[in-house]
Every structure is written in structure tokens, then in C-alpha cells.
Amino acid sequence: MKFVTEFRDPVAAKALIAEINSLAKDQPPRKLMEVCGGHTHAIYRHGIETLLPESVEMVHGPGCPVCVIPMGRIDDAIAIASREEVTMCCFGDMMRVPGGTSTLLEAKANGADVRVVYSPLDALTIAEAEPDREVVFLAVGFETTAPSTAITAMQARERNVTNFSIFCNHVTIVAPMKAILDSPGMNLDGFLGPGHVSTVIGTGPYEFVAREYGLPLVTAGFEPVDILQGVAMLLRQLAEGRCEVENQYKRVVRDGGNTAALNILAQVFTIRPHFEWRGLGFIAQSALGLNEEYAAWDAEKRFEFPGQRVADPKACQCGEVLKGAIRPWECKVFGSACTPETPIGTCMVSSEGACAAYFNYGRFRAKKRIPVKAT
Amino acid sequence: MSTQDDREKVLERIEQWKLRPPRLTDDVITMAHGAGGKASQSLTEAVFKAAYGGPQLDRLDDGAVLDIPSGHRIVFTTDAFVVTPRVFAGGSLGDLAVNGTVNDLAVMGATPKWLTVSAVLEEGLPMDELRSIVGDVAAAAAAAGVEIVAGDTKVVERGAADGCYLTTSGIGLLPENREFGAEQVEPGDVVLVSGTIGDHGMAVMLARGDLKLDADISSDTAPLHTAVAALLDAVPTTRWMRDPTRGGLASACNELATAANLGVSLFEESLPVNPPVNGACELLGLDPLYVANEGKFVAVVPADKADDALAALHSDPVSAGAVAVGEINDEHPGMVVAHTPFGGSRIVDMLVGAPLPRIC
């Protein structure tokens, strides 16, 4: 575990906090967006917001795959899962995501065969073990998880598993970033770039942020020291008047990305013309679907489903939260109607969602800092 | 030989057969074992009584008559056990069923004395597996010094239950003068935990095999009554205790914060977590604070008694790894806050839903 502990080293963290404080002192207040839900979770999990100076605000971006799934797609998944012959396999986070009227967890309680898996390959294994069932994998996630779905599709084809299909909801990271940058009232000063997505796509696709929008972006890892160093690098760029794409997470992210993974994505997926995002509306070229070669494993072609768009609940301000326009606790229903037990918006469901992370970890602001006690 | 003699012989044979203790020859549990007839009787005799029979149970009365020594009150508790798989690294369903109830009594400050064991069996359960489960119950009861005084067995059709469920109820003796509870807790008190956290939950998760992870992680299931007794002897002013089972240390501390209407501060770098458990939690995106324990307890003691308390706990092997992990304050009533090693802080809330791995 040494690999982890050195990135949680209090001495290194304290040095970075001092650097951030001194950089922030001579700058106007800054709003920095961490794009990735993993960052949001880590920021709260490690209490990083309580360490940053008041003039540096972290805005939580759209990079939680669970949070951006529109309600209509959940209804579609429930409709497919409720078919007599179907076994729906999904990641645990998806079970409680609210659709228009219900959740997969409720569908399961009402008799649908919904099973939690830890990898898409587990779903394929189930399909092979139970040839009488129509096994559907509910695929979600950014470029981080899309390669494992692609590998699964390739193996299904190779092994000719005909009772397996994929209900694909994979999305891409760059399109929603563009959408946020183009949205009115956007006032971000820089981006903490997603670490794991970048291991796949590299840092090249973010160049437009610096080139076209004149904002700095630093791709960062997920440990406290990574995040603090990423913030320090952003503030340094801003202090020096630079806007560049920098890579803090060099131990994992190569600038060119993972070419093998990119090849696999290209073989299995095609970019959808548009896709609906929870709270952000339709975004052009923002999602992946299975291509013609894999049509036989595409659940959208195999099953009928309502395909109805469900408007987000009026009270829910997930969109504003995802765009960074408001902070989680500024939402009208935060903590009252919308809680982790009874989420209205998707941001409250996954532990990576900005609202759930804030609800679980962030509500506390110590009046006085309690000193760290040695054992 | 006359026909009369023949008939006598046959009748004698029948009589002798009737007097013979019932023999259990079945390889699996059938509905007959739950029907209350000969098969039920043979199961009780050959499996349950053979494993943990005693003066009370052997009477096979409808209830046990227990003598309560004067100067004591009783603590009474019950718990159901449905763990799957039924055997995992470090323990089994049988161990849990005894230790779970024994520990509930122990952390109430009582000396565990008597247990009842009810079994719900699924038709088709292999008899050898049942013998092994019941054997574990007997061994755990002997280790915890409790007598099993009554029991019951029901059989349900195949598919109506998952193999074997056990319910144990327990009675412990509590001295008249022993008082503790959340209302005794005061700001400044110290929170102790009797050893590493998260071992049981992670051992069971790995034993399920869904995660395809291999790690040297064993359940911590163990009876805690000796460690609790050592603590109460050394520090009679111990304020509060709880065994942090499902929901882990985080939930136990939240229950304390709510009941006492005080704040609980935990110091992350003091939390004892076995490295393989920590590693598995990292991989799965779980927080060891929320992972179940079956052989640990958390105790609140006055600050000036913390060293005495730890010394007493260290004298018992089951709590040799005891450490101070936090303190009580009145700054954030009803709330548990963890302090990270570099000075950050975060809320540790009650668990919502099941602890499922994050997806990326």
C-alpha cells in the first residue's frame, strides 16, 4: 500500500497547502471545476475543501456517470429488466437511481431479475451459464469504463454468445465540458481534469480548453496530494497568466492516452449524434452506441422499450449543480425533499455525486479546527 | 414352535425396536424432519442434543427453568443469522450465531449465561453440513461459557429459505449496581475500539467469490465477554459500549452521537485497519468505517481512565489491539466527524443502503 500512502503524506500535503495559500493570496477569488466524480468524492472524503483558502472554490462538474443518466433511460432499463425472459446486470450504483416512476431496486423487489455485477464480463459469464435467460448488461460510464464494455462485446461475439446484449449508456467527457463552457453565466477559472478518463483518451482532447477558452486545465490523480498539487498547478498557471494543459498524474496518464483501449473503443462503438444528459439536456456527439458490426448484441435493437423523455422534476436543480452555477446546498430541495435515502436528483444517488458527497461528508464546518492527535 | 411363540417373539422385537434410541440415517434434511414425529426426534437426538445437550436441554421440556442469583437483573436479547456463505475464512454461521448474541449481552455489561437456538432448515440441506454448523454452535457456546437451554427446528420446502437460518436468544446477568449508557457520556471522554475494524465484512464479501479477489483476510468473530469484564473491572466508570456489527464503527458512533446528543470526533490515523482489509477497501471503494465487525467493541471511558482501560484490554488476547480512536465533544452534537491526517475533516454519516463498490 506504499503506493497509496505516499500520496496521503501529511507532510507533502501541508507543503502544498502552504503553496496554495501563498499563490491564492495575490489572486482574485478562483472557481475551479473538478470534472470527475472521483475527484468530488475524494475532495469530501479527505476533507480537502476544509483545507483550501476561502478564495479558492471547487465546483463539482458533470463527471459522475450515474448522475448524468436521464430518467427516461432508467425507465427504459426498467422496462427491459421487467421482461419475463430478461436478466438485467448492472453496477450497484445504478440500483437506486430514480427513473420517472421507479428504480431498478423497486423493479427487483417486484420480481424483475436484476443482479449487481462488478464487471461487464461477469454479466457475460452469467449469460453463458444460463443460456435460457436473455442477459442484458446496463452499461454506464465515461471512457474509463467503456473499454471493459467493448472487450465484453468482443468476447461475446468471439464466443458467439447469442443470449447476451448491452444496453449502452456510455458517454464521453469532452462534449459536456464544451457544453458547460458554452453555457451562459459560466464563470470558471480552470479545470481539474479527470484522471482515469485521461488514462484512456490522453490529454490531447483537452487542448481546446486552453486554446479556445483561454482556461488552464491540469489532469490530476485521486489521492489528496494529487488533488492539492493539481490545484496548486492551476493557481500557478493563473498567477503567471498561462493557460495550458498540464498533467499532474504522469504516473498513470500518458499524453497520448492508451492506444490499445482507444482501438478497442473504435472497433465496437460509434458516436451517437446526440444524447440526453440529466440536467444538461441534449448534447451533440456526447455518447457512444454499439456500431453496426455489434448490432446483434445491442439491447436497443433487441428489445422494445418506451424511449420516452422524462422531464427532470421541477424542484430538482441537478443541472445547475452540474454546471457549477449553484453549489449543492443552494438547491431548493437539498437535504429536505432530496436526501441520499430518497434522492430526487441523480447528484444525490452515487457517492460521487456532488450532492451526496456534500450531504455525507461536507456539511460539517468546524468552528475551531480540532488539532490532529498523535496515537 | 407354536404360532403363539412366534407372535410373542415378533411383539418382543417390536417393543425392543421402540425402546431403541432413534437413529438418524438420512443424508439430507427432508420435510419429515420438521413434522414432529420420529424423524424430528431422531434429528434432535442425533444432531442437536449430541452436539450441545446439557441438564436443561436434555429434558426436552417446552421451556427452561432458570435460577437468577439475587442481586442481579437479567439482560435479554435475540438475533437472527442468515449469513451467506455459511463458512468463510475465520468463522461460520454457527460461530456467528453464538458470538453475536453473547456479544450483545456482553456490551450491555452482562455476563452471558444461557442461549436458545432456533433453526430454520431448507429441505435438502446436507446432513453433514448441518452437523458441522451445529458443531460450531456447540464449540462457540463452550468457548463463551454459555449453556444452550432450549431450541427449536423447523423445515421449509426447498427454495423457501437459503439452506439454514439460525436465531439465538440469550440471557445474561447484570449486577444490580451496574449502570451505563449513552446518557453517562460526557464531553472530553475517550472513544476506544478493541482492535482492527472491517475484518468480518470483508472476509464474508471475499468468501462470496463475486469479487474475484484473493486476500489474507479472516473474520474476527469471537466472544467479547472476557475483554468486557476486564475493562469493567479496571474501569467501573466505563460510560458506554457497543459492538459495531452491521454498519461498522461509523454506525455505532452515529448511534452514540444521537443518543448522547454529543459530537464524536474520530482521528483517521488512529483507526486500526489490517493492511489487506485496507487494500481491499481501496480497490472496492469502500470505507472500513462502514464494514461489519463480529469480534470488536467500542467503548467510551473518562479521559483520565483511558490508559487503565487500554492496559486492561491489552491483557485479553481478543482485545490486544485496542486503541483510542477518538473523543467526545459538545461542538457538533449528534454528528460524527473524522479528522484526516493532514488536518482536513469530514462528516461520517449513517450508512444509506447497502455498501456497494463505486463504479469508477
pLDDT tens profile A87-101: 999 998 888 888 888
Per-residue DSSP letter, B85: S
Could you tell me if B275 lies within 8 Å of chain A, comparing CB atoms? yes
Instruction: Tell me: pLDDT of B172 over 90.
Output: yes
The verdict on a CB contact (< 8 Å) between A92 and B354 is yes
pLDDT score recorded for residue B196? 97
pLDDT score recorded for residue A351? 65
Count the alpha carbons within 13 Å of B257 in the hemisphere toward its beta carbon. Answer: 26
- Report the CATH number that the domain containing residue B103 is assigned in CATH: 3.30.1330.10
Per-residue DSSP letter, A298: B
B112 and B96 housed in the same domain: yes
Residue B357: band (very low, low, confident or very high) from pLDDT cuts 50, 70, 90: very low
A269-271/A245-247 β-pairing: unpaired
The verdict on a CB contact (< 8 Å) between A373 and B329 is no
Instruction: Tell me: pLDDT of A262 over 80.
Output: yes
Residue A370: band (very low, low, confident or very high) from pLDDT cuts 50, 70, 90: very low
Residue A1: band (very low, low, confident or very high) from pLDDT cuts 50, 70, 90: very low
B52 and B82 housed in the same domain: yes
The length of chain A, given as a count of residues: 375
B314 and B243 housed in the same domain: yes
Print the domain residue range for A332.
318-359
Out of B175, B194, B216, a domain closes at B175
Instruction: Tell me: pLDDT of A117 over 50.
Output: yes
CB A105, CB A361: distance < 8 Å: no
Q: What is the C-alpha separation between B281 and B284, in angstroms, rounded?
A: 5
Instruction: Tell me: pLDDT of B185 over 90.
Output: yes
B15 belongs to a structural domain: no
Per-residue DSSP letter, B62: S
- Per-residue pLDDT reduced to its tens digit, A62-80: 888 888 888 899 999 999 9
A84 belongs to a structural domain: no
Print the domain residue range for B116.
31-62+70-175
Best A2, A228, A372 member to test B by mutation, with max B CBs in 10 Å, is A372
Residue B349: band (very low, low, confident or very high) from pLDDT cuts 50, 70, 90: confident
Closest CA of chain B from A185, distance in Å: 30
Query: In terms of CA atoms, which chain A residue is nearest residue B212?
Result: A118
Pick the residue with more confidence: B5 or B268? B268
The verdict on a CB contact (< 8 Å) between B359 and A375 is no
Q: Is A254 exposed, middle or buried (0-12, 13-18, 19+ CB in 10 A)?
A: middle
Q: What is the C-alpha separation between A66 and A51, in angstroms, rounded?
A: 28
pLDDT score recorded for residue A37? 85
B121 and B197 housed in the same domain: no
Q: What is the C-alpha separation between A358 and A65, in angstroms, rounded?
A: 17
Mapped onto helix, strand or coil, the DSSP state of residue A151 is helix
B171 and B204 housed in the same domain: no
Q: What is the C-alpha separation between A361 and A328, in angstroms, rounded?
A: 12
Count the alpha carbons within 13 Å of B334 in the hemisphere toward its beta carbon. Answer: 2
Instruction: Tell me: pLDDT of A366 over 50.
Output: no
Q: What is the C-alpha separation between B225 and B247, in angstroms, rounded?
A: 21
CB B225, CB B106: distance < 8 Å: yes
A275 belongs to a structural domain: no
Residue environment code for B298-322, b if the CB has 16+ CB neighbours within 10 A, otherwise e: bbbbbeebbeebbebbbebebbebb
B188 belongs to a structural domain: yes
Report which secondary-structure segment, H or E, holds A192.
strand A190-193
Closest CA of chain A from B211, distance in Å: 7
Chain A residues inside the 8 Å CB shell of B338: 47
Work out the mean pLDDT of chain A and round it to a whole number.
89
This model of the complex carries an ipTM of 0.75
Identity of the residue in A44, A48, A144 whose CB atom sits nearest the CB atom of B360: A144
Calculate mean pLDDT across residues B34-42. Answer: 88
A347 belongs to a structural domain: yes
Calculate mean pLDDT across residues B75-87. Answer: 94
B235 and B145 housed in the same domain: no
- Report the CATH number that the domain containing residue B281 is assigned in CATH: 3.90.650.10
pLDDT score recorded for residue B37? 86
Chain A residues inside the 8 Å CB shell of B337: 364, 366
Number of domains in chain A: 1
Mapped onto helix, strand or coil, the DSSP state of residue B243 is coil
Out of B147, B175, B203, a domain closes at B175
The verdict on a CB contact (< 8 Å) between B345 and A370 is yes
B24 belongs to a structural domain: no
Out of B157, B175, B193, a domain closes at B175
Could you tell me if B359 lies within 8 Å of chain A, comparing CB atoms? yes
A176 belongs to a structural domain: no
A165 belongs to a structural domain: no
pLDDT score recorded for residue A344? 83
B157 and B128 housed in the same domain: yes
Report which secondary-structure segment, H or E, holds B170.
strand B164-175
Calculate mean pLDDT across residues A324-334. Answer: 85
Best A346, A360, A369 member to test B by mutation, with max B CBs in 10 Å, is A360
B38 belongs to a structural domain: yes
Number of domains in chain B: 2
CB B190, CB B301: distance < 8 Å: yes
Closest CA of chain A from B324, distance in Å: 8
The verdict on a CB contact (< 8 Å) between A4 and B282 is yes
Four-residue CA torsion sign, A28, A29, A34, A38: positive
Closest CA of chain B from A303, distance in Å: 26
Closest CA of chain B from A240, distance in Å: 28
Instruction: Tell me: pLDDT of A373 over 50.
Output: no
Chain A residues inside the 8 Å CB shell of B209: none
The verdict on a CB contact (< 8 Å) between B324 and A375 is yes
Chain A residues inside the 8 Å CB shell of B267: 372-373, 375
Per-residue DSSP letter, A277: E
Residue environment code for A255-289, b if the CB has 16+ CB neighbours within 10 A, otherwise e: eebbeebbebbeebbeebeebbbbbbeebeebbbb
Range with the poorest average pLDDT among A97-101, A245-249, B109-113, B139-143: A97-101
B171 and B191 housed in the same domain: no
Chain B residues inside the 8 Å CB shell of A351: 285, 358
Whether this prediction's pTM lies above 0.90 is answered by no
Count the alpha carbons within 13 Å of B311 in the hemisphere toward its beta carbon. Answer: 8
B194 belongs to a structural domain: yes
B193 and B168 housed in the same domain: no
Instruction: Tell me: pLDDT of A183 over 90.
Output: no
Proportion of chain A above pLDDT 90, given as a percent: 61
B218 and B311 housed in the same domain: yes
The verdict on a CB contact (< 8 Å) between B358 and A45 is no
B89 belongs to a structural domain: yes
Cell of B160: 423457501
B44 and B79 housed in the same domain: yes
B168 belongs to a structural domain: yes
Residue A184: band (very low, low, confident or very high) from pLDDT cuts 50, 70, 90: confident
Calculate mean pLDDT across residues B252-259. Answer: 96
B285 and B204 housed in the same domain: yes
Alpha helices by DSSP H, listed for chain A, are 2-5, 10-25, 37-45, 71-81, 104-109, 120-129, 146-158, 174-182, 195-201, 207-213, 224-239, 259-268, 299-302, 318-323, 354-357
pLDDT score recorded for residue A106? 92
Best A14, A46, A51 member to test B by mutation, with max B CBs in 10 Å, is A46
Range with the poorest average pLDDT among A93-102, A287-296, B223-232, B271-280: A93-102
Instruction: Tell me: pLDDT of B118 over 60.
Output: yes
B281 belongs to a structural domain: yes
Residue B228: band (very low, low, confident or very high) from pLDDT cuts 50, 70, 90: very high
Report which secondary-structure segment, H or E, holds B40.
helix B38-43
